[in-house]
């Protein structure tokens, strides 16, 4: 059982949802189990969310993808397994230690050649991709990193995406704290501000899906 269920579902209903829909590959289950031993283990995406990302990637026929915030590599791996052999994940994270776990599992799953890890601030990596002429060339992006930079990541990913491409952004309901008026912590305020900005952004089609901790889907419209 996952410790971090989708918001608003009773434990019984969550277990039922998993029992009739979760098809988690064994390698991802192993990675999830190992990550739960880590002190920040609750940060990893839930299995039904990983499956949903893989579903979206297949649905839009994605080949080039971005993963902002790698941690132990669950989302990168879920996406990489859903890509065709020619597919690519540009994985961005600053932490050389935790991403060693990620790289070990990418190797074990046989998809390490599809995932390029960039150990640097993600904004630097994204700026570099833009400055080397890669705007409008990505199909999919998953943003799950420091919330204070969410809008900056989103802006750059939006430029890197082709029209019709999709950005998925995690933790946009922040355990329900977005509607707690007494919670004025910078992270919560950053998420509220981010959600409000996307609501007004007519460059995208928008859907906020209450899976896991809240996942916003932003589809880039044609100019
Ligand atoms: Ca997350």
37 token code pair: 């031993």
Whole-model pTM: value is: 0.96
Ligand 1 centroid to Cα of residue 103, in Å, is: 19
Cα separation, 69 vs 72, in Å, equals: 9
Q: Above pLDDT 90, what percent of the chain?
A: 92
pLDDT value at position 148?
97
Taking the chain (223 residues) in runs of 10, the rounded mean pLDDT of each run is: 68 95 97 91 90 98 98 97 98 96 98 98 98 98 97 98 98 96 97 98 98 97 94
Ligand 1 centroid to Cα of residue 211, in Å, is: 11
Radius of gyration of the chain (CA): 17
Cα separation, 30 vs 35, in Å, equals: 9
Ligand 1 centroid to Cα of residue 84, in Å, is: 25
Question: Do residues 172 and 97 lie in contact, with contact meaning Cβ atoms separated by under 8 Å?
Answer: no
**Residues whose CB falls within 8 Å of the CB of residue 37, separated by 6 or more in sequence, listed in order:** none
Ligand 1 centroid to Cα of residue 70, in Å, is: 10
| Strand, coil or helix: 168 | strand
pLDDT value at position 1?
35
pLDDT value at position 4?
55
Ligand 1 centroid to Cα of residue 181, in Å, is: 22
Identify the CA nearest to 65 among candidates 165, 207, 159, 132: 165
pLDDT value at position 3?
43
Cα separation, 145 vs 194, in Å, equals: 13
| Strand, coil or helix: 181 | coil
């Amino acid at each position: 059982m996952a410790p971090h269920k989708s918001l608003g579902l009773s434990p019984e209903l969550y277990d039922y949802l998993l029992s009739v829909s979760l098809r988690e590959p064994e390698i991802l289950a192993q990675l999830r189990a190992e990550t739960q031993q880590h002190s920040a283990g609750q940060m990893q995406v839930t299995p039904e969310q990983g499956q949903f990302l893989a579903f979206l990637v297949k649905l839009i026929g994605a080949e080039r993808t971005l993963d902002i915030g790698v941690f132990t590599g669950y989302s990168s791996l879920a996406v990489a397994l859903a890509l065709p052999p020619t597919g690519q994940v540009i994985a961005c994270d600053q932490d050389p230690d935790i991403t060693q776990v990620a790289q070990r599992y990418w190797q074990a799953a046989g998809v390490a050649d599809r995932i390029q890890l960039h150990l640097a601030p993600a904004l630097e990596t994204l700026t570099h991709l833009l400055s080397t002429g890669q705007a409008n060339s990505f199909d999919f992006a998953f943003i799950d990193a420091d919330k204070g930079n969410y809008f900056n990541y989103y802006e750059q990913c939006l430029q890197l995406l082709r029209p019709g491409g999709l950005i998925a952004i995690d933790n946009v309901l922040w355990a329900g704290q977005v509607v707690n008026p007494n919670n004025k912590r910078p992270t919560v305020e950053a998420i509220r501000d981010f959600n409000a900005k996307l609501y007004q952004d007519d460059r995208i089609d928008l859907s906020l899906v209450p899976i896991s901790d809240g996942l916003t889907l932003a589809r880039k419209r044609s100019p």
